[in-house]
Structure formats: C-alpha cells, structure tokens
Amino acid sequence: MTLTIALACAAALLALAVAAVALCRFAAATRIVYGACMVVTAISLVAAAGHLLGDEPQLTATLPLGVPWLGSHFRLDALSAFFLIVVDLGACGASLFALGYGEHETAPQRVLPFYAAFLAGMTLVVLADDAFTFLLCWEFMSLTSWALVMSHHRVPENVYAGYVYLIMASFGTLALLLGFGLLAGPGGLYSFDAMRAAHPSATIGAFVLILALIGAGSKAGIVPLHAWLPLAHPAAPSHVSALMSGVMTKVAVYAFVRIVFELCGAPAWWWSIVVLAAGGVTAVMGVLYALMQHDLKRLLAYHTVENIGIIFIGLGLALAFQTYGLPFAAALALTAALFHVFNHSVFKSLLFFGAGAVLTATGERDMEHLGGLIHRMPQTAFVFLVGCAAISALPPLNGFASEWLTFQAILLSPALPSWGLKILVPAVGGLLALSAALAAACFVKAYGVTFLGRPRTPAAAIAKETDFFSLAAMMLLAALCLVAGVLPGLFIDALAPVNMALLGAHMPQQIGAPWFAIVPVTASRSSYDGLLVFLFMVMSGTLAASAIHRLASDRLRRAPAWDCGYPDASPSTQYTAMSFAQPIRRVFGTTVFHARETVDMPPPGDMRPARLTVEIRDLIWDMIYAPVATGIGIAADRLNRLQFLTIRQFLSLVFAALVFLLLVLAIWS
Amino acid sequence: MRVDALTGVLLIPAIAAALLAVLPGYRMTARLNVVATTATLLCAVSLFFRRPPTGSYLLVDDLNVTFIVLTTFVGFTTSVFSASYIAHELETGRLTPSSVRFYHAMYQVLMFAMNLALIANNIGLMWVAIEMATLTTVLMVGIYRTHEALEAAWKYFILGSVGIALALFGTILIYMAARPAVGEGLDAMVWTVLVKRAGGFDPALLNLAFVFLLLGYGTKVGLAPLHAWLPDAHAEGPTPISAVLSGLLLNVALYALLRFKMLLAVNAGALAPGPLMVTLGLISLVFAAFMLYRRRDIKRMFAYSSIEHMGIITFAFGMGGPIANFAGLLHMTMHSLTKSAIFFAVGHVTQVKGTQRIADIGGLTETHPALGWGLILGVVAIAGLPPLGIFMSEFLVVSSTFARAPALAIILVFGLLVGLAGLFLRINSIAFGEPRGPSAKAKASYVPMFAHLAIVFAAGIYMPPALVVWFQNVAGLLG
Amino acid sequence: MVLIRDLAIQGAQMLLVLLVAPLFVGFVRKMKARLLLRQGPPLIQPYLDLVRLTRKEVVLAENASWLFRVTPYLIFAATWVAASLVPTFRTDLTFSWSADFIAIIALLGSARFFLALAGLDVGTSFGGIGSSREVMIASLAEPAMLMIVFTLALIAGSTQLSTMAAFMASPAVGLRVSLGMGLVALIMVAIAENGRIPIDNPATHLELTMVHEAMVLEYSGRHLALIELGSALKLVLYVSLIACLFAPWGIESAAAAVPTLTLGAAAYIGKLAVSGFLLALFETSIAKMRVFRVPEYLGAALMLGLLATLLRFVSESF
Amino acid sequence: MSRIDFDVAHLLAGTLVLISFLELYQDRLYSLLNVYALHALVLAASVAWQALIQDAPHLYVTAGIALVFKAIVIPVTLHRMIIKLGIHREIEKVVGVGFTMLAGMGLVALSMVVMLRVTHNADPLAQEDLAFALAVVLLGLLMMVTRQNAVSQVIGFMSLENGLVLAATGAKGMPLVVEISVAFSVLIAFIVIGIFLFRIRERFDTVDLQALDQFRGERR
C-alpha cells in the first residue's frame, strides 16, 4: 500500500512535469506547480514515515516497464523508506520555500517542468529494485538537475558548470553501470533480488566496491570527484541548490549503502580502509575549500562535500565493524552516518534557503558585498544562525548529536583486530575533529560577514525581509534542527529497522532512557542528553538575565562604537571574508592550495593605493582534471587531420585495410 | 508476378519514381511523394501479418521484416519533412524546379533500391540493389552543385564504388564457396539455401569472401577507416537525404553484413566474424568520438555521431549472444529514429539560421524553443541518456559485455563518455547562451521530429511484448 | 530523599564553581604580582569588579544587533553548564550523564562560536582581528582537545567524566606514556583556550597582541561582567578538569556522606590553589609569542594528542 | 576439361594481369587509355573462351559488353574528353614507377598465396582464374591509389571491374544476374563519371583531384 502511494506520488510528479510545460505560460503556474509538488511530497512523506516507524515488512511491486523480459522492480524496505523520508522532506520544504522564492524567477518555463521531474527521479531512485530501473531513474535525476542548472543559461559560468556536471554525472553512471554489469553477470540477472542471492566472488566484490565508490562518490562529491559540485550546485536556483546539496547527494549515499552493504557480498579487510580514507580526506578538504570561498552558495556547496566526508567516515566504520563481526558497533556507526544524512539534509536545505533569501533581497551571492543584514532581515538572520550552529555541530542542535555518535563509534574501534585500521581510525578521528572545528570557523565567517557588521554595498543596505512562504519553510527546518538535536533518541530508534535489515543488529532502545538521553552502549560508558543540556542553558541564561536585571542595572545607552578609540567611518574597514580567513589560510592554505599573498606597498609620496593580492590554486583540478582535458584536446587535434586527407589518401586507407586483412588471412591458419 | 504486399513494397516506389520524374509542380509532387511512401509503409506493415511465400528472388523473414518496416516508416516521415524543407529550398532558390523533380524521383528510386536490398533472397540481387542505392544517393548529394557538394559526391562515388566492387568480389567468392556444396546455378546464390548448406562450404573461401564483404559493405556502413565519404556526404547533401543516409542506408549495408555473418556462424571451420566486427566497431566508436570535438559544421558533427553509433551496433553484433544481439537491434532501430529526428531538427535550424556553422548558431532555446528543445532531446537521446531508447540498448551492451570481456567494455565506455562530452560541448553553445543569428520564426512541421522522439522515448521505458518477442527471435537467428 | 540530596549536591557544585571562579582569577593575579615582588590587588578584587560592572549602564554601539546583546548570556550559560558538570569534589553528579566529556568540549565550543560572532557584530576592525584569530586558534585547539579526550576515554573505557575520574583514582591505572603525553597536551590546550600567556595576554590592550580582549572590546556593563565571569568559569573548568583526571584524589563517590564531602571540597580548593600558583609561576617566567607562532604551538599539542591516541590504539601496554 | 582449355584460359588471365602491370607503368593518358582498351580486349577474349569451354552461351553477352563498351566506347569517349579538357601533360605519379611495380609484384604474390590456400575440392581452373582476378582487382586499386588524375583513377577503377568480370566468368555456372549487374554498374559508372567530368570541367577546368581537394569539407 505504502509503496503504491509512493509510486503514485512519483507518477503524479511526472504528470505535473508534463502539465507544467503547458501551464508555464500562465502567471499562476509557479504557485500551482510548487503547491502541488508540496502536497504530493507531503503525502509521500507521511506514507514513508508511517512505513518506517511502523516497522512494516518490505513491499515489492513489478511494473511491465524497463528491460522487457525483466520488468521494472520496485521495493520499499526500511532503507529506502528512510531515504524516501529524506527526499520527500527536502522536496516538501523546497516546494514550500519556492512558493515564495519562485515568484522572482524570470524564466519559470525553464524551471517548473524539470523541478517536478527532478523530484520524481529522486523518489524513484530510492524505490528502484533492479539495475536498469535504478540507473534509469538515477540518470534521469542527473539529467533533470542538469536542465535546472542550465536554467539561467545566459550566464556563461552556468553553462560551463552544467557541462562539467553532465560529464561527471555520466561518468558516475557508467561506473555504476559497469558495477551492475559485474554483479548481474553474463546472464544479465539485473534484479537486485538475484544479485542478493548471487553472493559474488571476492574479486568481483572488490571491483564493485571501487566502482560504487567512484559512481556514487562522484555524485555525492567524494574528493577528488567533487569538482563539479561547487560549480553546479550554486548555479541552480536556490531551492534547487538546496535539493541538489541536501537531498541528491544523499541519494548517492543511498546508492553506496545499497550496493556495498547489500549487494556485493562479504566485505574484505581493506574495504573499510578505502572508504574511511576517502571520507576523512573529503571532510577536511571540503571544509578547507569552503574557507577559501567568498561566494555564499559555493561555500555552502563545499560544506556539502565536507559533510559527505563525515557520512562516509561513519559508513567506513560500519563496514569495518561488520567485516570483523561486531554487529552492534557497526549498528552504532551506521546509525551515526544515517542520522547525519538526515541532519545534513535538514540544515543544508535551511542554509541554502537562507542564501536564496539573501540573493533575492540583495541580488548578491558574494559575501564581500553583503553585511549588516541582521538589521534588515532579522527573521532570516535568526533561522540562518540556527542553521549555522547546527552545521557547526554545536549542542544542543542536531549536527552535534550525529557527530557525537560518530565519535562514539570511533571510540569503539580499538576492538578491531586489523593493524591498518588501528593506525587509520584515530587519524580519521583527528581529521573529523579538525573538520568540525574548521567548519565552526567557516560559519563564523559566513554568518559574520553576511549578516553582521555594517552593510558593504547599497544593495545590502536596502535589503528587504523575505516573503512569508520562504520564512515558513526556513522556520520549519530550523525547528526540526532543534527537535532532532534535543530528542535524538526518537530518530535513533526509528533507524533501528534499517540497521536490522543491513547488519542484523541495531543500537539499544533509546526511548527507555530518562529525559530522552541517548546511550550508545551503556550509561557508564557514554551518554548525552540534548534536552537536559538545552533546558540547563535556557534556565541558567534566564536566571542570570533576570537576576542581573532585577538586582543590578538594566539601563542601556546607544553610542558610537568604541573600537579602541579608532572610530572607522567606512564599512570597507571591516573584516572581509578573505581577511577573516587569512590566519587559517596561512596555517593550511600555503600547503594545500599553494596560497600566496603578495603585498604591493607604494613608497611614501606615491599616490597609488597599496594592494594585497592572494593567489589560490586548486591543485586537484590542476593535477587531475586539467591534464585529462588537455589530453583529449590533443588527441582530438591529432585525429582531426584525418578529416582533411585527399580522396586518394582515403582510398589508400581502404586499400591498406584490405591488404592487411588479406595478409592476416594468408598467415592465419 | 503476383501482386501482393511484397511486390507492393517494390512496385509502389518504382511507379512513383516514374511518375515523379515527369510530373511538374513541386506542391503536387511533394504530396505524391508522401502518398507513395505512405502506401509503401502500409504494405510493409501488412507484411507483419501476412507472410508471402519465399521465392528464389524475394524473401521475407523475421530478420528483414523489421528492417523493411523501419525503412519504410522513416522513409515516410522523411518525405513529410522533406516537403516543407524543399519548399524553403525553392524559395531561397538553392534548388530549381527541375532539380526538385529529379530529387523526388531519385527519392523514390532510393526507397525502391533499399526495399529491394532488404527483401532480396539472392545475394547478387541484393548487391545490385545496394549499388543502385549508392548511385542514387551520389546523385542526390551532388544536387546543390556547389564546389563542396560536388567534391563530397565525387568522394562518395569513388569510395562507394570501390566498396561496392569489393563487395561484388566477395559475393562471387561466396558463390564459389557454395558451388561445390550446392551445385551450379541459381541455388548457389539463394539465402535460404546457402544458410542451410553453409556447414559444408570451404572455410578458407568463406573467410576470404567475408573479408571482402566486410570491407565492401563496411564502407557503406561507414566503419572507420572506410568512413571517409560519410561526413561530407551528410554535410553537403540536402538534409532529408542526410536523414535517410544516416537512418536507413547504413542499416541496409549493415543488414547485408549480418546476413553474411550468419553464413560464417553456421560454418564450423570458418574464422569467427565476431572479433573482426568488434575491432572495427570499437575503432569507429573511439575515432568518431574524438572527431566530434573539432567540428565546425553541425551536420558533419552529427554524421560523425552516426559513425560512432554504427560502431556501437557493429560491436554489439560482433559480441553476439542473445542480450548483445537484442541490444544491437534495439540500438539500430533507436539510432535510425533518433538520428533522423535530429537531422529534421538540424534541417530547420540551418534553414532559419541560414548557416551550418556551429559558431553562427546560438541560444536556440531562446529564439526557437520547440526547435531548440527538440534538438536537445534528440542529442540527449543520441548521447545515450535516459529515459530514451538508446540508454536501454547501451545499458544492455555495456553490462552484458563487461561480465564477458572487461577490457572491451572499458574501451566502449570510454568512447561513449568522450563522445557524450564532445556532443554536449557543441550543443551547449548551439542551444544555450546569448542568441546568435537570425531569429525569424521557422515555417516547419515539427510533427515528424517529435513523432520519432516520442517513439524513442516510449521505447526507452516500455517495449510492447510483441516487439520484444520479435527482437528476441531475430537475436536468436543471429546467434 | 536521595534525589533531593543529589539535587542539592548538584546545586552546591554549581554554586561552588560560580563562587570560586573569580576568587581563582584573583588568586592568580595576586600570585603573579607577588612573584614580581609587587603588592597586587586584593583577592576579592574580581568580585568587586563584577559588582561594579553589573551596576553600570550598558553602552551599546549604534549598529549592535540583538545577537550582540544575547551573546553574553549564551556564553555564560554554556560555560556555567559545562563547568557544573565537571566533577570537582564528587563524582556521579545527578546530571553528569547528560553531557559527557565530548559534549562539554562542544559546549565551550558553542560559547566561543557566539563570542566570535559578537566580535564581528559591530563591524569594527578590532573585533574582526579578535574573531579571526580566535577561530584560527580554536580550529587547532579543539582537535587537540578531542585527541586528548580519545586517549583518556580509551584508557578509561568511557567518555563519562565521573567514570573516568573514578577509573583514574583506581589502582587499575598505572603510569602510562600516553597519559603523560595527554597531560602535557591538555595543559598546552588549556593555556591556549583560556588565552593565557604565551598565547594571549588577558591584561593587555595592545591592539596587535590581543585576541580575546579584541573580541569583547565593544562590551560594557553587565554584558562585560557576564563575559568576564564566563572566562573565569572556563579557567576554573579546565583546572578542575585536569584535577579530576590527573589528580583524582579526594573526589568522593556517590555513597560518601556530608563530612567527607566537605573534605573533598577542601581537597578541591587545595588543588585549585596549587594549580593557580603553578599557572602564575609559568606565566611570569615566559614571554608572549607572536600570533603566527601559535599554530606551531597548538600543532605540537595536536601531534602529542594524536601520538598518545595512536599509542593507545596500537597496544594496551602504553 | 581438356588440357588446352585450361592452358588458354590460364594464358588469357595471365595476360590480363600483365596488362594491368602495363597500365601501372604508363605515364601518359593517351597510352594509358590504349592500354586499357587492350585490357578490355583481352578480357573479352578470356570471357569468350570461358563461354566456349563452359558452353555457357550467356557469357558471350558479357564478352560482347566487354568488347563494345570497355574496349571501344569508353576509351573513345575518354579520349574525346581528354582532348576537350586539354590534358596533354604527363600524369604526375605520386610514387615512382619502380615502387609501384614492386608493390604490384607483392600484391600478385599475395593474391596467389591467399587463393592457393583454397585448393581442395574446387577445380584448378577456377583457382587460377580467381587468383588472377584478385591480382587484377588489387592492381586496379593500386592504380587508383597511386594516380592523381581523375581520368586515370576512373581507368584504374574500370580495370578493377575487369578483374571482377574475370572472376565472375571464371566462377562456373554463375547465374546471369552477375553479368547484368556488372554491365549495369559499368553503364551507371560511365554515365556518372561522364556527368562528373562534365560538371567538374565547368567548375574547375581541370580533372586534377587536387583542385577538388581544395574544397574538402570545413575548409571554408
């Protein structure tokens, strides 16, 4: 039943996409389409949630579509139900946001149809249960999001971004295709059930793991396959950016989990090492890239890379524990990863909505041209602050809860017998801690430069608070951040069926614990209670405030800023994003980005202004992508000469081929 | 001879050709052209249901009826498209009324020749038909009489005739091989007989024959390095002819190859034709993929993409096995429909923009949304992206190959990716960005283009069981 | 009954840290002055400062936002909650399970997060300097701290401070290399986190040297009082952290009766006195380092922590 | 069949190969045309001989076609054309005669090797015949490759087709289909070439392919 509802919702979305093509000449189209999308996804959300929380048995359906002799299989089990929740939640929020935001769209006919189709694609990916259907929906999802990236196609950067995105997406799809080809074998057993039954050999499993890491990783943004992500995500309209960053990357995580934990057999000892290393590097590199950015949306995109890294660290740990038969530890790690999947989808959507609101209010994505927005758009500023705190893993919000669980999982890893892991895991833990701290720094920068201080441009100075729908969406997600942070136990329990299905074990029941605390293993070992911490902070804060206001003074006077007696008139004397990141750039950037600062200080009496220029190189691009591109260019040039041969030369080609084959025949026996 | 659907497929175009050669006035002749192709299509479709008996000259079996219906269908849609296309050419004066008359006549002759090649039960007859098709297309490629057109036609003529000559030699060798087993006379050139007896042929002769046939008909298929005529012929001829060339003629040549492959497959002693086809296919695929990058002419670019796909199809058939053969057939069908649809779009684009230079075309989705998005959809399809038909065939080819021969699959995937990147590099600048070139409304019928794309789209998601069974039979036949 | 008693003890602990914090600051100042052969301010000077500050009116910069005004309370609340969960004279506090070691670090982190934001709020260049340096220091100090947490947690088999303290007090813990490294790293981090010499000088307003002071430059009146109190609490927190982990003597367990508890409290005060004296001694005997030497300093702490964890992971015997 | 039949057929086929070599050797269009006429003549003879010994009367038709069209009509027409176009200068070969000859030798050897692998259960006459035919075909192709002048390329192509006819007639009892098709293709080829040369002349007063090559695609 639930599956039927989910499929029906997907079908409805597709129909909506078709209808949108016809509708979008009308003014009301935006409201209609987004409203309908919101309703449909809400229905599907409720259904999926019911299925997961009710811990109902898995449902399957087969439609006479796809590969003819196979049909297209769909299946709703705990895992897909969970990811369906993530998808639908993000989609529902984005649609609500877009009810307001979409009004500013100049070319709705380039957004509306693809938006609905995009949602349908993501929904179907998590439901698909055979290789063909999966890849079909997967690539359909990429294709529609590509169209959305291209929606503002008059900006050359966007076209370029779309180009890179499409190539990387197809690259990933082909990798997955090869992987499925291996799993299906020459007989072409494409249904996942057959693959589950097949128990592939170790070598095949290894190949599939690598291919899955490449295929799903390139979509999720694993370094060094992330290159397209910071280009494409910001290029799309903000609610789509939110979906791509917050939800589509999670669909990629789903693909990875589905393949690695379910389809490709018993893990070998080195699998988890690969995944852990990839995750750790991704987490730190992502946040370091983000620190170097001053484009708000691109900064957020890079943070998606970082959080994907954190998720993959959790997955790697789960894989390691599973390899060595520690199901409960594996359950803890997997829970941490999946919980972070949910959390990241919530606060990343929230942050992208905020960025979108700022974009519509000021027309600026560059933080260096913003500032002081907290005065002009107080509510947006507040919810954005919640998002920043959540993604910076500050208690009592949800980001901290999932990262705390990841740390707990890391602390269980001495039980692992493998030496490689013994060395690697603490290092990865260090990377995780580093990325968390850097993330906090980065969001101090993002929020401080964008919303605090004084406006740096007239546009920022006259910004208006965003519309009702956008605010509603953001408030909703902000509230969710708090709830998930304060009552993590509920979510952990909800994830139990998923762990049960994948690992055959799950974390201890959390509901029983007093005050909704979460206890991964035992209370004496470690426990955390977001609710209590939250209450304590509120209590002590209010206590202090009331005490001081009651007993001591509550007088207040406005005056010019003191600033050590150097009152600076111009807003341009404030710290900018680049200058804020300068100390960290000096610490990390010189090695990671070959960052170089050159100061041009004119001698006294010289009128020209002093200049400080910063050069940053993206080494990954320079070392991997650029060479490939040039290589293909050279090959194309070489071969292109063949277009300009004379007829005689072409004839001699034919002649040569003939003689060659005859020679082969003469020698062949 | 008895007049039935089979002879209808042949007679209607022949008669129409004769009529069109004499009738004046483009409007009526264009209509007549459409009517004739429609009638032919109906006859062809009826072949699905009533199989005429197999004669020693004509034959209808599972394999070729698919080709016939495809050919007649694309021929029909192309005639519809060409009506509006030729009208514009007359207005702009690129074609004179007399040359239009010649064009229509030749169009029907081409249809006749291709149908004959498909239903011939006699390798000699089939050879004659393909030769005829070649010559007619040569004449049509040269129809604009510009320097480039003449040069293209000349190149096409020389290379095509050499290929045809080699094919004839191969045909003779087949006869020689068959004679001892079958006995002298007509039977030794009749398919149905040959296939039955092929086991007893002299393997060495068969091999030699296949080498010549592969190179001969391979030239017509456009496999690298025998492809040279193809891009220029596509670029310089009238666009409907480009559509027919890419969509049909290449298939017909491939069909001939498949027939002979079946012969070799039956004979135990002969060398396996698979590896040869696989090699040629991969070479064509990768080569054409790289050639896409430096193209400045939009029609020539899509011609190279045809080479690429012919490579994929040849590769699939070379791999063999039920899945790969199925995929090959599907891919061939889908490619015919998609590529002709693309050429329909390209024809209108070149007409409204007044140029074939990619650099002078831009922002098409702004100026001509239907045309632009149609073209994009076509390119998406041809690039093997879902949910369109070619995705399914490529999925089947790659996934079934990787389990059997990983190295080949890697090359295949590499070629596909390079080709996709090349295609979108150009299509981005054509369809997106600031509009370039004139933005006058296009007086064009989008029906054929979108009809093709709709079929391709449907096939990508749902294939009617009847068709599937059909394809599976054929795949079984191909072994 | 037991619950009430436990609650009472928890409250006592909260009050104790709150009351003792300014005293400790005053004590350190006094010691430093004495070591420099100066008279120095009276011990209760910090209390007087706080009272005076709370009495004064707040002078708020024109474009200061609501965030600027809320931050002091947030900081104070977070720090106080964190401090009140660290065992001082008794383990197994009623609410100790509500936040383990990691959570306590994170609470301090959130306090710092908002302080750095407040530094940027008014939009002055000094605030910017302070915040950007603060986050740079934090970005290295926090990982180092977490590495130390890993080491200790792995030794004690728990991240629950009470359990850890109990374990440290028990004979089960021998002398371990990783413990030593952890202690050194923890002290280094504590110094950095509290902005003491050589990282930062709480007593200076030289624009190029200050970090913490630059951030709070715009604060005045009760806001400033709360922030000062917060940083005092933080200092005490770190000291009691070190005390309860590396000198867990005298920390009573749940079953202890009131007199022994007072004994424990006395022991705690004693530890504070010793560590205060050592801190003063250290600060007087060393000079402040350049800001861009700080990464190396903290990098060293981080490496120590990582090394300790690695040793811990690789074998049980270290 | 009797010994003499075989020898004569063998002789004629061999002569055909020899004349192909002669063609390769020629470097003036006139002489080339004449040699080609001779080529066609010998072909006609050999076809006729085949008709005789196979007592397959329909082959006489082929012989007739070869005689009339290839030996007379085409050379004459091309002769006219050359005069009309005023090409009296030498054919500039791409590669030297010596090399061409060597390559020719190699090709003949190759064709022998390839064909003689197919000895069992096919009569020797057919073997020899096919071997020579293959040689002629390859030599014709070689000529097309080594010549730059359109006319000489066409001649090369037609001598290639002569090889085909030789093979076809050598194949005992091969149905009429083939002769018809060959004649037909020759006819078409002739017409098309005629059209082409005419067009080409009115476009660029020469038949030198290099003139054509300047207009190769995308050179705009």
Nearest CA in chain B to D151: B158
Asked if residues A390 and A481 have their Cβ atoms less than 8 Å apart, the reply is yes
Take residue A229 and report the two structure tokens written for it. 């992500």
CA dihedral A335, A338, A340, A342 (to 10 degrees): -130
What lies within 8 Å, CB to CB, of A401 at 6+ separation is: A339, A343, A484, A485, A488, A518, A528, A530
DSSP state at residue B247: I
CA dihedral C125, C128, C129, C130 (to 10 degrees): 130
Domain assignment of residue B196, yes or no = no
pLDDT band at D203 (very low <50, low <70, confident <90, very high): very low
The torsion region of residue C175 among left (phi > 0), alpha (psi -120 to 50) and beta comes to beta
The candidate with the shortest Cα–Cα distance to B288, out of B304, B277, B299, is: B304
**C-alpha span between A606 and D55 (Å, rounded):** 109
Average pLDDT value for residue range A504-533: 84
Domain assignment of residue B454, yes or no = yes
**C-alpha span between A509 and A493 (Å, rounded):** 6
- CB atoms A166 and B398 under 8 Å: no
Helix (H) or strand (E) holding A598: strand A596-600
Beta bridge partners of C252: C90
D3-25 vs D124-146: helix axis angle to the nearest 10? 10
Residue predicted with more confidence, C313 or A128: A128
| 3-class secondary structure, A63 | strand
- pLDDT tens per residue across span A237-247: 999 999 999 99
Alpha carbon of A260: minimum distance to chain D alpha carbons (Å) = 50
State yes or no: pLDDT of A610 exceeds 60.
yes
State yes or no: pLDDT of D188 exceeds 60.
no
Say whether the A–D interface has 3 or more Cβ pairs within 8 Å: yes
Nearest CA in chain B to D127: B176
Q: Distances in Å between the alpha carbon of B135 and those of A484, A551, B163, B249, D191? A: 74, 105, 12, 12, 11
Neighbours of C, requiring at least 3 CB pairs below 8 Å, are: A
Asked if residues D154 and D38 have their Cβ atoms less than 8 Å apart, the reply is no
Contact D137/B at CB under 8 A = yes
- CB atoms A437 and C132 under 8 Å: no
Rg (CA), chain B: 21
Asked if residues A281 and A310 have their Cβ atoms less than 8 Å apart, the reply is no
Of A648, A662, A663, the CB nearest to D145: A648
**C-alpha span between A477 and A390 (Å, rounded):** 11
Helix (H) or strand (E) holding C61: strand C58-61
Residue predicted with more confidence, D169 or A37: A37
State yes or no: pLDDT of D216 exceeds 70.
no
D209 CB neighbours in chain A (<8 A) are 646-648
Rg (CA), chain C: 19
pLDDT value at position C281?
93
Take residue A67 and report the two structure tokens written for it. 């590969």
Helix (H) or strand (E) holding A156: helix A156-184
Query: What pTM does this model have?
Result: 0.93
Of A648, A662, A666, the CB nearest to D148: A648
pLDDT value at position B2?
59
Tally the C-alpha atoms within 13 A of residue A221's C-alpha that lie toward its C-beta.
Answer: 33
pLDDT value at position D178?
55
Query: Which residues in chain A (296-335) have CB-CB distances under 8 A to chain B?
Result: none
Take residue D64 and report the two structure tokens written for it. 């007739």
Preferred mutation among A110, A190, A203, A642 to probe B, highest tally of B CBs within 10 A = A642
**What rounded mean pLDDT belongs to chain A?**
92
Neighbours of C63 (CB within 10 A): 21
State yes or no: pLDDT of D21 exceeds 50.
yes
pLDDT value at position D202?
41
pLDDT value at position A504?
87
Of C63, C113, C122, the CB nearest to A444: C113
Domain boundaries, chain A: 1-182+231-248, 619-667
D189 CB neighbours in chain B (<8 A) are 161
Say whether the C–D interface has 3 or more Cβ pairs within 8 Å: no
Tally the C-alpha atoms within 13 A of residue A358's C-alpha that lie toward its C-beta.
Answer: 33
**C-alpha span between C115 and C205 (Å, rounded):** 18
- CB atoms A153 and B433 under 8 Å: yes
Take residue B139 and report the two structure tokens written for it. 């004449």
Backbone φ, ψ for residue A289 (5° rounding) = -55, -45
Beta bridge partners of A75: A60
What lies within 8 Å, CB to CB, of A1 at 6+ separation is: A59
Residues of chain C with pLDDT under 70: 1, 205-209, 254-256, 315-318
Neighbours of A19 (CB within 10 A): 17
- CB atoms A666 and D212 under 8 Å: no
A651 CB neighbours in chain D (<8 A) are 141, 144-145
Nearest CA in chain A to B460: A66
Take residue D178 and report the two structure tokens written for it. 């083939």
Contact A489/C at CB under 8 A = no
The candidate with the shortest Cα–Cα distance to B47, out of B78, B14, B1, B10, is: B10
Asked if residues A302 and A230 have their Cβ atoms less than 8 Å apart, the reply is yes
- CB atoms B122 and D177 under 8 Å: yes
- CB atoms B128 and D192 under 8 Å: no
Domain assignment of residue B394, yes or no = yes
- pLDDT tens per residue across span B391-418: 999 999 998 888 888 899 999 999 999 9
Tally the C-alpha atoms within 13 A of residue C45's C-alpha that lie toward its C-beta.
Answer: 11
The candidate with the shortest Cα–Cα distance to A408, out of A521, A296, A258, is: A521
- CB atoms D216 and A644 under 8 Å: yes
pLDDT value at position B308?
96
Question: Range of B447's domain?
Answer: 272-479
Pairing of strands A556-559, C58-61: parallel
State yes or no: pLDDT of D206 exceeds 50.
no
Pairing of strands C58-61, A72-76: unpaired
B125 CB neighbours in chain D (<8 A) are 177
What lies within 8 Å, CB to CB, of A570 at 6+ separation is: none
B109 CB neighbours in chain D (<8 A) are none
A392 CB neighbours in chain C (<8 A) are 109, 113
- CB atoms B148 and D215 under 8 Å: yes
- CB atoms D122 and B184 under 8 Å: no
Rg (CA), chain D: 18
Helix (H) or strand (E) holding A72: strand A72-76
Domain count, chain B: 1
**C-alpha span between B70 and D146 (Å, rounded):** 41
| 3-class secondary structure, D118 | coil
Domain boundaries, chain C: 2-314
**What rounded mean pLDDT belongs to chain B?**
90
Rg (CA), chain A: 27
Average pLDDT value for residue range B61-90: 91
Percent of chain D with pLDDT over 70: 71
Average pLDDT value for residue range A7-34: 92
pLDDT value at position D194?
56
The torsion region of residue C66 among left (phi > 0), alpha (psi -120 to 50) and beta comes to alpha
Domain assignment of residue B42, yes or no = no
Alpha carbon of A376: minimum distance to chain C alpha carbons (Å) = 11
Beta bridge partners of A295: A366
Query: Which residues in chain B (276-295) have CB-CB distances under 8 A to chain A?
Result: 276, 287, 290-291, 293-294
The candidate with the shortest Cα–Cα distance to B215, out of B266, B251, B165, is: B165
Take residue C113 and report the two structure tokens written for it. 């997060």
Average pLDDT value for residue range A380-404: 94
